[in-house]
Copies of this chain bind each other. A is one copy, B any other.
Amino acid sequence: MRVGEGVEWGLHCCAILTGLPSDGSLSASRLAEYHGVPGAYLAKHLQALAQAGVIQSSPGRTGGYRLARPASEISILDVVEAIEGAEPHFRCAEIRRRGAARHLPAAAFPSRCGIAHAMERAEAAWRRELSRQTIQDLVRHFLRGTDPRVRACARDWIAGVLRPGTPRKTTITRRQEQR
């Protein structure tokens, strides 16, 4: 039982995307370099988020990802289920009907195995807790509890990689200087 690290990446990415201007977007490779994770693999998770409708992708040279709706309307559960899938963690194999009780008719068993029921309740509690907090809550927590230097770092990085609103000739020069 283990949560894949894609969930952590996805949540961090959503948090960063919150800091974008409404018309801005960030590419998978930019998000990957900001977080220091492999870009091709992060792209896979971002695809899953896009398919689930959590983020929106725009193609082309200036394309990238942005949040599909306000951060206050994206729960952590949305992100988790988009990346890990919404299947239940516990899958009842109905072993109560195998072995010794094999020959008994299906009608002799209650519709739900008690063990499966107990596990489902726990999982529901887990999901409920995740659905309570939104990406906005995460960002708010970040803005309040984090050192100004870290906040400035994030802000400056976004400003640096965001394409300027009005294209100018100096754009290319700047790019080449970076190398």
Q: Does A4 contact B (CB under 8 A)?
A: yes
Contact (Cβ within 8 A) A101 B11: no
Contact A153 B104 (CB under 8 A): yes
A95-131 interface code vs B (CB 8 A; 1 in, 0 out): 1101111101001111000110111011101111110
- Give the dominant DSSP class at A's interface: helix
* Residues B145 and A95 in contact, CB atoms below 8 Å apart: no
Q: Specify the chain B residue showing the minimal Cβ separation from A79.
A: B115
A110-B145, A110-B146 given; A118·B95 CB < 8 A: no
Q: Which of B8, B109, B118, B142 contacts A92 (CB 8 A)?
A: B8
Q: Which of A34, A127, A147, A150 has the most CB of B within 10 A?
A: A150
Interface set of A (CB-CB < 8 Å, partner B): 1-5, 7-9, 11-12, 15, 33-37, 76, 84, 89-93, 95-96, 98-102, 104, 107-110, 114-115, 117-119, 121-123, 125-130, 133, 137-138, 141-142, 145-147, 149-150, 153-154, 157
